[in-house]
Amino acid sequence: MQTPIRKPGQYAGIKPDPHMTPDKFRGLSVELEKLKAKRPYAAAEVKRLAADGDFSENHAYSMAKGRLRGLNRRIDEIEDHLKRAVIIEVPKNPDKAVLGSLVTVSVNGREKSYRILGSSETNPSGGIISHNSPLGLALLGRRVGDTARVWLKDKAVEYKIIKIG
pLDDT of residue 6: 55
Say whether domain 102-164 belongs to CATH 3.10.50.30: yes
- The set of residues, in sequence order, having a beta carbon less than 8 Å from that of 36 and lying 6+ positions away, is 75
Task: Say if residues 146 and 126 touch (Cβ distance below 8 Å).
Answer: no
- pLDDT averaged per 10 residues in sequence order, the chain, 165 residues: 58 76 95 97 91 77 92 94 91 86 91 92 91 92 92 89 91
Q: Tell me how far CA of residue 3 lies from CA of 6, 8, 9, 14, 126, in angstroms.
A: 9, 16, 17, 18, 38
The CATH T-level fold of domain 19-87 is Helix Hairpins (1.10.287)
- pTM score, two decimals? 0.79
The domain spans of the chain are 19-87, 102-164
pLDDT of residue 114: 94
